[in-house]
């Protein structure tokens, strides 16, 4: 094989691809940091925290499971699998819809609310540190751009 064939030729990537790659790396890095802190301090994964967080922001601390799945970016069956161990720990509960047996709700229990409170206090410094290099005036527009990218609007945030 000639030297010419063995050389690695770096291809220039588009800004679009570079943005996606950097966003993915930033997500992985930040998720790992948050996951480690939550696991070490509270025995929670970052995925578990996100469930508690979205339920904690919902009216009456409950969401339809399909709405929770949408916020998490997972399937309805995926959210059901994630909820099972949290139900056993007493952090969330299932509630049927009295008018439609096909609809189920996930609800944050008092224990879940308490754990969420402690978890938020633990990871807020990490979140603050993560965005400290972003100019304050750019945070709002960046949130909107990320929301658009994730398909988030005012009705499903």
- The predicted-structure confidence for 113-142, as pLDDT tens digits, reads as follows 999 999 999 999 999 999 998 899 999 898
- 64: which strand partners? 105
Residues 6+ apart with CB under 8 A from 104: 64, 65, 94, 95, 96, 97
Predicted local confidence at residue 25, as pLDDT: 94
The domain 44-127 is placed in CATH, from the list 3.10.20.30, 1.10.10.10, 1.10.510.10, 1.10.10.60, at 1.10.10.10
Predicted local confidence at residue 93, as pLDDT: 96
Predicted local confidence at residue 157, as pLDDT: 55
> What are the extents of the domains in the chain?
44-127
Weakly modelled stretches of the chain, pLDDT under 70: 1-13, 153-157
Enter the tokens of residue 104: 């189920």
């Amino acid at each position: 094989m000639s030297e010419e064939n063995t050389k690695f030729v770096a291809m220039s990537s588009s800004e679009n691809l570079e943005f996606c790659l950097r966003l993915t790396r930033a997500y992985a890095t930040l998720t790992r940091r948050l996951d480690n802190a939550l696991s070490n301090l509270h025995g929670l994964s970052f995925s578990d925290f996100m469930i508690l967080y979205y339920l904690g922001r919902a009216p009456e601390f409950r969401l339809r499971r399909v709405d929770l799945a949408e916020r998490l970016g997972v399937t309805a069956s995926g959210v059901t699998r994630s909820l099972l161990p949290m139900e056993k720990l007493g952090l969330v509960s299932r509630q049927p819809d009295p008018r439609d047996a096909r609809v189920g709700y996930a609800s944050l229990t008092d224990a879940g609310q308490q754990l969420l409170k402690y978890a938020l206090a633990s990871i807020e410094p990490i979140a603050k540190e993560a965005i400290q290099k972003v100019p304050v005036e750019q945070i709002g527009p960046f949130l909107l751009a990320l929301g658009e990218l994730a398909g988030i609007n005012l009705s499903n945030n």
